[in-house]
Structure 1
Amino acid sequence: MKTVGLIVEYNPLHNGHKLHYERAKETAQADASIAVMSGNFLQRGEPAIVSKWARTEMALSLGIDLVIELPVPFATANAELFAHGAVSILDRLGVVDAVCFGSESGDIDWMIQAARLLAHEPPAFSAILKEGLDIGLPYPKAYAQAAASYLGTQGINDVALDQPNNILGFNYLLSLARLNSQMSPLTIRREKAGYHQSSITDEQIASATALRKILNEQGHSPEALRDYVPPGTLQILQDEKSLGREPITWEHFTTPLFHLLLRHSPKELAAFHEVEEGIEYRIKQAALHSTSVEQLLQQAKTKRFTHNRLQRILLNLLLGITKQQIASFQLKQGAPYARILGFSPVGRELLQQSKKNGSIPLFTNVRDGMHPMLDLDIKANAIYRLTQRNSLSEPFHEEYRRFPMQHSVPQSST
């Protein structure tokens, strides 16, 4: 059985994701699919609009055979660590033949060459990168410019590392090279809607950003998304709304976040992951003059500390993730376990194969103390459920009582 791996957030799952899934299976000539999916908090440092369980159900309804949660320290990290965590899980399962990702480029050759050259950061590249950082460039921009400059000296031109899907794809390839993985990389060109595109220019394809905007502007009515999402996604969003679980945004965490910001001194804030270069003072001052999370972000951001980077800092504060804790996780070694969120009958077969061929523990139910990183996942879920405690029975115990979702319904179609 040939299997393709996908790395996703599905926030929410839409027709563009459906197209990517279908083309990925076709391109890889795969019989089965595995998705590594972010949990309740995402790579841009924001909460998912619906829970990981609702999004797992979306994935299974699409046809994904096995859904695995990306642990929160990777899911909410920069592109390099996000990619490394997800790729390491797929690699260590021992059953994935290919990894397929979307990109603006659609051309994987230059990415593979670039990743091989930069996987271990040659000194000449590192020197150029340092120059960019020293003049105050944000890390992603400094990295993109240094990569283009260094790779140009190696005969690789037209490097497009200033586009979000290209950046993630390139980091997947870096991780494949660093792990010496045997999985084959594949890419599919992203079409019709850009990653950050908030406007809709196609009758059936829209970005997740645009769909989240519609939900917030249309009174949280899932019906407004009917033309842009598979039927399974629409039904799940409708079910969530009927249960009183409105789309979650940062503003749902305003009270606990501002409580923490007011309670901690700048010196105490400096202990949290990603807080550096004195940004704690700017965040503290912005909090004293803001009434919403978005206002705080707008007042605190700088050229170096972008909106997304600040969101990740605030999320680390909300979840209590310190620099010391992150250091203890040794994230560059990859993910230490695979938490199973859902599977189909084919997915059950993949799990059995992975138990024989894989090199990573598989967790189908959880308890405290199984792994310090898993303890953080459990805590993060409880904090997310603060926003939905009135619609769930004992929401803070949910993680201990949840078992993987099992799905046997045939793939939905539009």
Structure 2
Amino acid sequence: MKQCYLNAMGMISALGDGTDITLKQLQYGQPQLTYSNAYHNGPPLPLGLIQQSLNTLPLHDKKWKSRNNQLTWHIAQQFQPEIEAAIAKFGADRIGVVIGTSTSGIAESESHMRTMANIGTMPEEYHYHLQEMGAPADFLAQTFGISGPTFGISTACSSGAKALASARRLIRAGICDVVIAGGVDTICRLTVQGFSSLEAVSTEPCNPFSSNRNGINIGEGGALFLVSAEASDIALTGIGESSDAHHISAPDPSGLGAIRSMSNALDDAGITATAIDYINLHGTATPLNDQMESIAVNELFSKNTLCSSTKPYTGHTLGAAGALEAAICVLALRQNFQPEHIWDGSNDQELPILNFAPASSYHPMRFALSNSFAFGGNNITLILERIS
């Protein structure tokens, strides 16, 4: 099968704007969560907020005016020359756009609905398209004049990684030569209060795989990639997907769905578990997810395989998480660096013990694996390979 590569990328999160600052913060083990009560009723919660100002939108129709689209544009501009070069080389109809999200423009719709509750009508600037899950992909296609396949993916926390899987399928099927793919999500009251209602949000920085873990920190951010069959230093070598169909919000506690996802990715890459140098765990710090994932990882991998959850650095960026963590894996592969696993060091005696990456962890790397597990047991595993 045709190999696919990540030819360029951009990213932003609570860790900072772009690859350089993100790498620096990861290498120094510096989580960047902010305490805020701007998105819920109650005491401040630690959130992974983007502090940087975002670039102004190039399109002025009200249907595009969301912070989510603004975030999408901000990231795309980090590799805009590569996007424009691909369009010039292959043609606008041979470029696809696939972006995962779970919020889209819901934050703006929340504001508009509060206005309606107060005055009885929606404000003039409201447009339903703001909250459509395909809006970020449509916006980017309109901005660059792209006419190839354009669609959004919204499968909760696996959305960003699923977008990369879709990009590879479009290229392998000969439908596209290049796909802009990834995930973006901005914070809003719906997600913060929604997860709080599920009793899944921690009032402290998240503590993945600890006996003291008690929930997630919501974050915002995103990462986009230029995916093509043109050789580059990072290949999207393996993809595995599975579905638990166990429960609407809880994973299969046996870990069988996660095992299938990781096993499928290894088979797709044509490697064994011993080849994996680093695992970026889904690692939400919720009791059930960490229990399931530790069982699954322990079943497949050596006790020496280094792993970490990077959600203490960024918060859980929901629909963007799979893409953002794939971007973190790219940085790790290029630097032979494994991000430190931030936690309190208190092992849960009911969980298998994993080999969590310590501070200043540098070991040669060729393959990195990244897990994303979503509501409804929607699982995906990506394997990235450093070619040179």
Taking structure 1 as the reference length, what is the TM-score of the superposition? 0.28
Greater share of helix = 1
Greater share of strand = 2
Taking structure 2 as the reference length, what is the TM-score of the superposition? 0.30
